[in-house]
Amino acid sequence: MNIADLFLSALAISVITTTISKSTLFRPIRARLTGFFKSLANCPYCLAHWVSPLAAAYLANSFFPDFIIISFALVALSSLFTYPLILYIRWLDNV
């Protein structure tokens, strides 16, 4: 694993979680959810905690400590990408 793989994976996680939690495409699915799943599906940061282990499993060489460290690093990096992405989406809605 190199640093470029980490950043590209974090960017992909950011796009995936933002699409699921903020786009109109998934609005009908989010509307049908309740409780924990509703909270999870409406928060890109929360959702990143569940999506990042999939990417970490691909990037890590071993379960411990690589998998866990990479998983949390992906959450942190993806949250840095998510805020500008949401601002861009809101800007597009107003254009």
- Amino acid, single-letter form, for residue 52: S
The DSSP code sequence of 40-82 is: HHT-HHHHHHHHHHHHHHHH-SSIIIIIHHHHHHHHHHHHHHH
- Cα–Cα distance, 78 to 18 (Å, whole number): 10
**Stretch 37-61: mean pLDDT, rounded?**
94
Domain boundaries, the chain: 3-94
Residues 4-45 pLDDT 10s: 999 999 999 999 999 999 988 999 999 999 999 999 999 999
